[in-house]
Protein backbone atom coordinates (compact mmCIF):
# COMPACT_ATOMS: atom_id res chain seq x y z
CA UNK A 1 0.00 0.00 0.00
CA UNK A 2 2.93 2.32 0.72
CA UNK A 3 4.19 1.81 -2.82
CA UNK A 4 0.78 2.48 -4.28
CA UNK A 5 0.80 5.87 -2.58
CA UNK A 6 3.49 6.82 -5.07
CA UNK A 7 7.10 7.87 -4.97
CA UNK A 8 7.86 11.13 -3.23
CA UNK A 9 4.79 10.88 -1.06
CA UNK A 10 5.50 10.32 2.58
CA UNK A 11 2.15 9.64 4.10
CA UNK A 12 3.31 6.37 5.59
CA UNK A 13 6.44 7.80 7.11
CA UNK A 14 5.17 11.05 8.53
CA UNK A 15 6.70 10.99 12.01
CA UNK A 16 3.85 12.96 13.59
CA UNK A 17 1.31 10.49 12.29
CA UNK A 18 0.19 7.94 14.81
CA UNK A 19 -1.29 4.61 13.93
CA UNK A 20 -4.98 4.15 14.72
CA UNK A 21 -4.00 1.88 17.60
CA UNK A 22 -1.69 4.36 19.24
CA UNK A 23 -4.18 7.21 18.74
CA UNK A 24 -6.67 5.07 20.59
CA UNK A 25 -4.14 4.45 23.32
CA UNK A 26 -3.45 8.16 23.73
CA UNK A 27 -7.15 8.97 23.89
CA UNK A 28 -7.68 6.20 26.42
CA UNK A 29 -5.00 7.74 28.63
CA UNK A 30 -6.72 11.12 28.43
CA UNK A 31 -10.07 9.54 29.27
CA UNK A 32 -8.72 8.07 32.50
CA UNK A 33 -8.46 11.51 34.09
CA UNK A 34 -11.40 13.13 32.31
CA UNK A 35 -13.86 12.72 35.17
CA UNK A 36 -11.47 14.27 37.72
CA UNK A 37 -10.71 17.15 35.36
CA UNK A 38 -14.43 17.89 34.95
CA UNK A 39 -14.35 17.26 31.21
CA UNK A 40 -17.40 15.00 31.29
CA UNK A 41 -20.97 16.23 31.43
CA UNK A 42 -24.46 14.84 31.02
CA UNK A 43 -27.06 16.23 28.61
CA UNK A 44 -30.75 15.37 28.46
CA UNK A 45 -32.90 14.70 25.41
CA UNK A 46 -36.70 14.83 25.66
CA UNK A 47 -38.85 11.78 24.93
CA UNK A 48 -42.33 12.91 24.01
CA UNK A 49 -45.68 11.11 24.02
CA UNK A 50 -46.76 10.45 20.45
CA UNK A 51 -50.37 11.30 21.24
CA UNK A 52 -50.16 14.98 22.14
CA UNK A 53 -46.82 16.54 22.79
CA UNK A 54 -46.28 15.98 26.46
CA UNK A 55 -42.77 15.29 27.71
CA UNK A 56 -42.73 11.73 29.04
CA UNK A 57 -39.10 11.81 30.10
CA UNK A 58 -35.50 12.47 29.17
CA UNK A 59 -32.59 10.29 28.15
CA UNK A 60 -29.30 11.08 29.87
CA UNK A 61 -26.40 11.14 27.40
CA UNK A 62 -22.78 11.59 28.41
CA UNK A 63 -20.49 14.13 26.76
CA UNK A 64 -16.70 14.53 26.78
CA UNK A 65 -15.03 17.83 25.97
CA UNK A 66 -11.40 16.97 25.31
CA UNK A 67 -9.09 19.91 26.16
CA UNK A 68 -7.36 19.75 22.75
CA UNK A 69 -9.70 17.81 20.47
CA UNK A 70 -13.00 19.31 21.60
CA UNK A 71 -16.19 17.26 21.70
CA UNK A 72 -15.67 13.55 21.27
CA UNK A 73 -18.66 11.33 20.53
CA UNK A 74 -19.72 8.75 23.12
CA UNK A 75 -19.80 6.22 20.29
CA UNK A 76 -16.02 6.68 20.31
CA UNK A 77 -15.16 6.99 23.99
CA UNK A 78 -17.66 4.59 25.57
CA UNK A 79 -15.92 1.61 23.89
CA UNK A 80 -12.60 2.99 25.20
CA UNK A 81 -14.01 3.24 28.70
CA UNK A 82 -15.23 -0.35 28.41
CA UNK A 83 -11.82 -1.47 27.26
CA UNK A 84 -9.77 0.23 29.93
CA UNK A 85 -12.01 -0.78 32.82
CA UNK A 86 -13.42 2.62 33.67
CA UNK A 87 -16.97 2.17 32.35
CA UNK A 88 -18.16 1.18 35.82
CA UNK A 89 -16.99 4.43 37.36
CA UNK A 90 -18.14 6.53 34.42
CA UNK A 91 -21.54 4.84 34.27
CA UNK A 92 -22.08 5.20 37.99
CA UNK A 93 -21.32 8.89 37.72
CA UNK A 94 -23.83 9.35 34.88
CA UNK A 95 -26.47 7.44 36.85
CA UNK A 96 -25.89 9.61 39.90
CA UNK A 97 -26.18 12.84 37.86
CA UNK A 98 -29.28 11.57 36.09
CA UNK A 99 -31.36 10.52 39.11
CA UNK A 100 -30.36 13.74 40.79
CA UNK A 101 -31.56 15.71 37.75
CA UNK A 102 -34.93 13.94 37.84
CA UNK A 103 -35.58 15.33 41.32
CA UNK A 104 -35.98 18.74 39.71
CA UNK A 105 -38.74 17.56 37.38
CA UNK A 106 -42.44 16.87 37.85
CA UNK A 107 -43.05 13.43 39.27
CA UNK A 108 -44.48 11.93 36.06
CA UNK A 109 -41.35 12.77 34.04
CA UNK A 110 -38.99 9.81 33.74
CA UNK A 111 -35.22 9.60 33.40
CA UNK A 112 -33.58 7.05 31.10
CA UNK A 113 -29.96 5.99 31.63
CA UNK A 114 -27.85 3.84 29.29
CA UNK A 115 -26.06 0.88 30.85
CA UNK A 116 -23.12 -0.72 29.11
CA UNK A 117 -23.27 -4.54 28.94
CA UNK A 118 -20.16 -4.59 31.12
CA UNK A 119 -21.91 -2.54 33.80
CA UNK A 120 -25.00 -4.69 33.55
CA UNK A 121 -23.03 -7.89 33.96
CA UNK A 122 -21.24 -6.61 37.05
CA UNK A 123 -22.75 -8.43 40.06
CA UNK A 124 -22.78 -5.11 41.94
CA UNK A 125 -25.09 -3.34 39.51
CA UNK A 126 -28.30 -3.94 41.47
CA UNK A 127 -26.75 -2.52 44.63
CA UNK A 128 -25.40 0.47 42.69
CA UNK A 129 -28.81 1.27 41.18
CA UNK A 130 -30.53 0.78 44.53
CA UNK A 131 -28.16 3.18 46.26
CA UNK A 132 -28.53 5.82 43.55
CA UNK A 133 -32.31 5.61 43.90
CA UNK A 134 -32.12 5.87 47.67
CA UNK A 135 -29.82 8.88 47.60
CA UNK A 136 -32.01 10.72 45.09
CA UNK A 137 -35.31 9.78 46.67
CA UNK A 138 -37.07 9.49 43.30
CA UNK A 139 -39.70 6.80 42.76
CA UNK A 140 -37.95 3.75 41.29
CA UNK A 141 -40.43 3.54 38.42
CA UNK A 142 -39.22 6.94 37.21
CA UNK A 143 -35.87 5.39 36.36
CA UNK A 144 -35.59 3.56 33.08
CA UNK A 145 -32.44 1.57 32.34
CA UNK A 146 -31.59 1.24 28.65
CA UNK A 147 -29.64 -1.80 27.67
CA UNK A 148 -28.65 -3.10 24.27
CA UNK A 149 -28.72 -6.59 22.91
CA UNK A 150 -25.03 -6.77 23.79
CA UNK A 151 -25.87 -7.76 27.37
CA UNK A 152 -27.06 -11.14 26.16
CA UNK A 153 -23.78 -12.01 24.52
CA UNK A 154 -22.29 -12.68 27.95
CA UNK A 155 -25.13 -15.15 28.56
CA UNK A 156 -24.24 -15.57 32.20
CA UNK A 157 -26.44 -16.45 35.14
CA UNK A 158 -25.64 -12.98 36.41
CA UNK A 159 -27.68 -11.53 33.55
CA UNK A 160 -30.83 -13.53 34.29
CA UNK A 161 -30.75 -12.82 38.00
CA UNK A 162 -30.02 -9.16 37.39
CA UNK A 163 -33.19 -8.62 35.39
CA UNK A 164 -35.31 -10.10 38.17
CA UNK A 165 -33.59 -8.14 40.91
CA UNK A 166 -33.80 -4.86 39.02
CA UNK A 167 -37.52 -5.44 38.47
CA UNK A 168 -37.84 -6.05 42.22
CA UNK A 169 -36.30 -2.63 42.81
CA UNK A 170 -39.12 -1.23 40.70
CA UNK A 171 -37.10 0.30 37.87
CA UNK A 172 -38.15 0.03 34.23
CA UNK A 173 -36.12 -1.72 31.56
CA UNK A 174 -35.84 -0.64 27.94
CA UNK A 175 -34.28 -2.56 25.07
CA UNK A 176 -32.27 0.02 23.11
CA UNK A 177 -31.40 0.01 19.40
CA UNK A 178 -33.95 -2.72 18.80
CA UNK A 179 -33.64 -4.55 15.50
CA UNK A 180 -29.90 -4.14 15.01
CA UNK A 181 -28.81 -7.21 16.96
CA UNK A 182 -28.16 -10.75 15.95
CA UNK A 183 -31.28 -12.29 17.47
CA UNK A 184 -33.59 -9.44 18.40
CA UNK A 185 -36.74 -11.52 18.82
CA UNK A 186 -34.97 -14.09 20.94
CA UNK A 187 -33.90 -11.37 23.36
CA UNK A 188 -37.44 -10.14 23.83
CA UNK A 189 -38.49 -13.33 25.55
CA UNK A 190 -35.41 -13.42 27.76
CA UNK A 191 -36.16 -10.41 29.89
CA UNK A 192 -39.09 -8.42 31.28
CA UNK A 193 -38.66 -5.28 29.18
CA UNK A 194 -41.12 -2.44 29.63
CA UNK A 195 -40.13 -0.66 26.47
CA UNK A 196 -38.63 -1.21 23.05
CA UNK A 197 -36.61 1.58 21.46
CA UNK A 198 -36.86 1.16 17.70
CA UNK A 199 -33.45 1.83 16.20
CA UNK A 200 -32.91 5.00 14.19
CA UNK A 201 -31.91 3.00 11.13
CA UNK A 202 -35.58 1.98 10.71
CA UNK A 203 -36.99 5.36 11.68
CA UNK A 204 -34.98 8.09 10.00
CA UNK A 205 -36.43 8.90 6.60
CA UNK A 206 -39.03 6.12 6.88
CA UNK A 207 -41.72 8.36 5.42
CA UNK A 208 -39.72 9.20 2.31
CA UNK A 209 -37.97 5.91 1.58
CA UNK A 210 -39.39 2.50 0.80
CA UNK A 211 -42.40 1.18 2.69
CA UNK A 212 -40.22 -1.60 4.08
CA UNK A 213 -39.15 0.41 7.11
CA UNK A 214 -42.76 1.30 7.82
CA UNK A 215 -43.75 -2.38 7.57
CA UNK A 216 -41.01 -3.36 10.01
CA UNK A 217 -41.99 -0.64 12.48
CA UNK A 218 -45.65 -1.66 12.23
CA UNK A 219 -44.67 -5.25 13.07
CA UNK A 220 -42.52 -4.13 16.03
CA UNK A 221 -45.41 -2.03 17.39
CA UNK A 222 -47.84 -4.96 17.10
CA UNK A 223 -45.37 -7.26 18.80
CA UNK A 224 -44.66 -4.77 21.59
CA UNK A 225 -48.36 -4.16 22.20
CA UNK A 226 -49.13 -7.84 22.55
CA UNK A 227 -46.23 -8.18 24.99
CA UNK A 228 -47.45 -5.17 26.96
CA UNK A 229 -44.43 -3.03 26.11
CA UNK A 230 -44.20 0.63 25.11
CA UNK A 231 -42.42 1.68 21.92
CA UNK A 232 -40.17 4.64 21.22
CA UNK A 233 -39.10 5.75 17.77
CA UNK A 234 -35.57 7.14 17.94
CA UNK A 235 -34.16 9.64 15.45
CA UNK A 236 -37.33 11.42 14.31
CA UNK A 237 -36.17 14.57 12.53
CA UNK A 238 -38.98 15.51 10.12
CA UNK A 239 -42.70 16.19 10.29
CA UNK A 240 -43.34 13.43 7.75
CA UNK A 241 -41.54 10.84 9.85
CA UNK A 242 -43.35 12.11 12.96
CA UNK A 243 -46.72 11.72 11.25
CA UNK A 244 -45.81 8.25 10.06
CA UNK A 245 -44.75 7.14 13.56
CA UNK A 246 -48.08 8.41 14.92
CA UNK A 247 -49.98 6.59 12.17
CA UNK A 248 -48.08 3.40 12.96
CA UNK A 249 -49.07 3.63 16.62
CA UNK A 250 -45.63 4.19 18.16
CA UNK A 251 -46.20 5.34 21.73
CA UNK A 252 -43.30 7.78 22.21
CA UNK A 253 -41.02 9.89 20.03
CA UNK A 254 -37.39 10.87 20.56
CA UNK A 255 -35.61 12.96 17.98
CA UNK A 256 -34.30 16.33 16.93
CA UNK A 257 -37.81 17.36 15.87
CA UNK A 258 -38.74 17.70 19.55
CA UNK A 259 -35.34 18.61 20.90
CA UNK A 260 -31.65 17.82 20.89
CA UNK A 261 -29.84 16.69 23.99
CA UNK A 262 -29.41 19.81 26.14
CA UNK A 263 -28.04 21.05 29.43
CA UNK A 264 -29.90 20.31 32.66
CA UNK A 265 -31.34 23.83 33.04
CA UNK A 266 -32.96 23.67 29.61
CA UNK A 267 -34.29 20.18 30.25
CA UNK A 268 -35.76 21.36 33.54
CA UNK A 269 -37.51 24.29 31.82
CA UNK A 270 -38.94 21.89 29.27
CA UNK A 271 -40.00 19.39 31.93
CA UNK A 272 -41.97 21.98 33.83
CA UNK A 273 -43.49 23.44 30.65
CA UNK A 274 -44.79 19.89 30.30
CA UNK A 275 -45.21 19.86 26.55
CA UNK A 276 -43.14 20.68 23.53
CA UNK A 277 -44.13 21.37 19.92
CA UNK A 278 -42.45 19.72 16.99
CA UNK A 279 -39.30 21.73 16.17
CA UNK A 280 -38.60 22.14 19.82
CA UNK A 281 -40.72 25.13 20.81
CA UNK A 282 -41.96 24.97 24.34
CA UNK A 283 -45.59 25.64 24.92
CA UNK A 284 -46.47 26.82 28.33
CA UNK A 285 -49.57 24.93 29.28
CA UNK A 286 -50.64 24.02 32.77
CA UNK A 287 -48.22 21.43 34.06
CA UNK A 288 -49.92 18.10 34.64
CA UNK A 289 -50.52 17.27 38.28
Binding-site ranges for Mg ion (CB under 5 A): 114, 146, 176-177, 234
Q: Smallest Cα–Cα separation from 100: which of 143, 158, 156, 39? A: 143
Q: Convert residues 6-35 into a mask of x (bound to ligand C2E by CB under 6 A) and - (unbound).
A: ------------------------------
User: With binding defined as CB under 6 A, does residue 179 bind ligand C2E?
Assistant: no
Q: Convert residues 197-236 into a mask of x (bound to ligand C2E by CB under 6 A) and - (unbound).
A: -------------------------------------xxx
- Using CB under 6 A, which of the segments 50-58, 124-132, 135-143, 253-261 binds ligand C2E? 253-261
Among 53, 176, 195, 220, binds ligand C2E (CB under 6 A): 176
Nearest approach, Cβ of residue 265 and ligand C2E (Å): 18
Task: Give the Cα separation of 150 and 156 in Å (integer).
Answer: 12
Q: Smallest Cα–Cα separation from 49: which of 285, 280, 276, 238? A: 276
User: With binding defined as CB under 6 A, does residue 122 bind ligand C2E?
Assistant: no
Among 31, 34, 62, 143, binds ligand C2E (CB under 6 A): 62
Nearest approach, Cβ of residue 9 and Mg ion (Å): 38
Tell me, rounded to whole angstroms, the distance of Cα 76 from its chain centroid.
Answer: 14
User: With binding defined as CB under 6 A, does residue 71 bind ligand C2E?
Assistant: no
Q: Rounded to 10 degrees, what is the CA torsion of 67, 43, 62, 31?
A: 20
Which sign, positive or negative, has the C-alpha torsion 21, 86, 124, 167?
Answer: negative
Nearest approach, Cβ of residue 169 and ligand C2E (Å): 19
Q: What share of the chain is helix, strand, coil (3-state, %, to 5)?
A: 40, 20, 35
Task: Give the Cα separation of 104 and 124 in Å (integer).
Answer: 27
- What single-letter DSSP state applies at residue 141? G
Element spanning 146, H or E: strand 143-147
Nearest approach, Cβ of residue 180 and Mg ion (Å): 8
At what angle are helices 125-136 and 157-169 packed, to 10 degrees?
20
Q: Of the two residues 30 and 176, which places its CB atom closer to ligand C2E in the complex?
A: 176
Comparing every residue's Cβ against ligand C2E, the nearest one is 255
Task: Give the Cα separation of 56 and 39 in Å (integer).
Answer: 29
Nearest approach, Cβ of residue 8 and Mg ion (Å): 43
Residues at the site binding ligand C2E, with contacts judged by CB under 6 A: 45, 61-62, 73-75, 78, 91, 94, 114-116, 146, 176-177, 234-237, 254-256, 261
Amino acid sequence: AAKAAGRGKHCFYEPSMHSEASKRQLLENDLRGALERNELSVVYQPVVRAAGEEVAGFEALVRWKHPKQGDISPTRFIPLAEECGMIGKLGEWVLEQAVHAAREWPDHVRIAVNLSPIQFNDPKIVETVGLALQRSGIRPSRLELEITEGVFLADSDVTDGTFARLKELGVRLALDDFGTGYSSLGYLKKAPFDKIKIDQSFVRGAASTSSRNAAIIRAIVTLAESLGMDTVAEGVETHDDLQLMRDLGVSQIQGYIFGRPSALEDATDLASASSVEADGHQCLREPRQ
